[in-house]
């Protein structure tokens, strides 16, 4: 099996391997030529997936919730099709949970929101709570693909960041930070953001799960980059996702007061930006 199927509008990083399966030409172009034997599939398009997965498919890689391109979640039908096709063709399923994993959706792993356990999961960001660490988890038939010594990097597995990641996991799992804070503060944030949606007609949707939230705008009226810029001028650091979504990703230990403050800055920004 030689082929990897990846999703349109995905983002997996900027090393050449990750770029080859990143479905956004603007990131790929400067680094071409990239790895071959990769095929793009339209995200959430079951028909397209069925047409592309075959005996040749070694792996299907996706973000269960696409981060960079606007917090688009895989549909249950699409996940079901991935599950069935991967069983039929003995294909590995890889979830990139670098952005949506490690508690961000209100569950430790984002795949827990779906009826599918992937063979490989990549994790990073929230695993380190601010320090740089990434990891690749495997199960079952993926366990033997990489064995100790196959892969390494200068700082890979260094004791300093591993100690921090252990401390983060202790907070997330043993001290129940996910249940206590991510879920609760996620709901609180959605309540507040929904009020803004009621007030400003250019807000189309509040989307996401847990503290992986996004505000989607009518892009004919408001662009994400303008909101990000104005919010920054007012002391609130946000990040866009695509043209028309602004990500609302507070840290997991955020308080209600801090959410109130962020939402009131957003309100001020929206009052000025609307026309």
Ligand X SMILES: Cc1ncc(COP(=O)(O)O)c(C=O)c1O
Binding piece for ligand X, criterion CB under 6 A, among 60-68, 136-144, 174-182, 189-197: 60-68
Part of the chain binding ligand X (CB under 6 A), chosen from 91-99, 110-118, 148-156, 168-176: 91-99
93's torsion region: left (phi>0), alpha (psi -120 to 50) or beta?
A: beta
Please identify, using beta-carbon distances, which residue of 39 and 134 lies nearer to ligand X: 134
Residue closer to ligand X by CB (options 74, 263) is: 74
Q: Which of 273, 197, 205 is nearest to 241 (CA)?
A: 205
Q: Residue written as tokens 């599939």?
A: 41
Residue 153: Cβ-neighbour burial (10 angstroms; 0-12, 13-18, 19+): exposed
Distance, C-alpha 30 to centroid of its chain: 23
Interface with ligand X in residues 140-159 (CB under 6 A): none
> Phi and psi of 207, rounded to 5°?
-125, 165
Q: Does 13 bind ligand X (CB under 6 A)?
A: yes
What span, in angstroms and rounded, lies between the C-alpha atoms of 248 and 238?
7
Cβ 274 vs Cβ 125: under 8 Å: no
Least separation in angstroms between CB 161 and ligand X: 13
- As measured in angstroms, the least distance from the Cβ of 98 to ligand X is 4
Rank residues 95 and 217 by Cβ distance to ligand X and give the closer one. 95
Strand order through the sheet with 245-248: 203-209, 212-217, 245-248, 239-241
67 belongs to the binding site for ligand X (CB under 6 A): yes
Choices 8-16, 183-191, 215-223, 228-236; region in contact with ligand X by CB under 6 A: 8-16
99 lies in the site for ligand X, by CB under 6 A: yes
Select the residue interacting with ligand X from 60, 98, 236, 254 (CB under 6 A): 98
Binding site for ligand X (CB under 6 A): 11-13, 63, 67-68, 96, 98-99, 124, 134
């Amino acid at each position: 099996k030689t082929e990897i199927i990846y999703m349109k509008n995905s983002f997996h990083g900027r090393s050449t391997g990750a770029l080859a399966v990143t479905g956004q030409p603007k990131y790929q172009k400067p680094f071409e030529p990239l790895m071959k034997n990769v095929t793009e599939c339209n995200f959430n398009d079951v028909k397209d997936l069925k047409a592309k997965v075959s005996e040749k498919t070694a792996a299907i890689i996706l973000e269960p919730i696409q981060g960079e391109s606007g917090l688009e979640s895989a549909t249950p039908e699409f996940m079901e099709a991935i599950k069935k096709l991967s069983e039929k063709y003995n294909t590995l399923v890889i979830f990139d949970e670098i952005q949506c994993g490690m508690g961000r959706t209100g569950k430790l792993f984002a795949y827990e929101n779906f009826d599918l356990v992937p063979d490989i999961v990549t994790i990073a960001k929230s695993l380190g709570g601010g320090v740089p660490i990434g990891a690749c988890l495997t199960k079952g038939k993926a366990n033997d693909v990489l064995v100790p010594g196959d892969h390494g990097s200068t700082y890979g597995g260094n004791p300093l960041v591993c100690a921090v990641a252990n401390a983060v996991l202790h907070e997330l799992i043993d001290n129940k930070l996910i249940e206590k804070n991510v879920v609760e503060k996620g709901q609180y944030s959605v309540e507040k953001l929904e009020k803004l949606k009621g007030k400003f007609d250019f807000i189309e949707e509040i989307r996401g799960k847990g503290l992986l939230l996004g505000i989607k705008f009518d892009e004919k009226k408001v662009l994400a980059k303008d909101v990000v810029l104005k919010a920054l001028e007012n002391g609130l650091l946000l990040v866009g996702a695509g043209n028309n979504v602004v990500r609302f990703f507070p840290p997991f230990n955020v308080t209600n007061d801090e959410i109130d403050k962020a939402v009131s800055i957003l309100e001020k920004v929206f009052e000025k930006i609307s026309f």
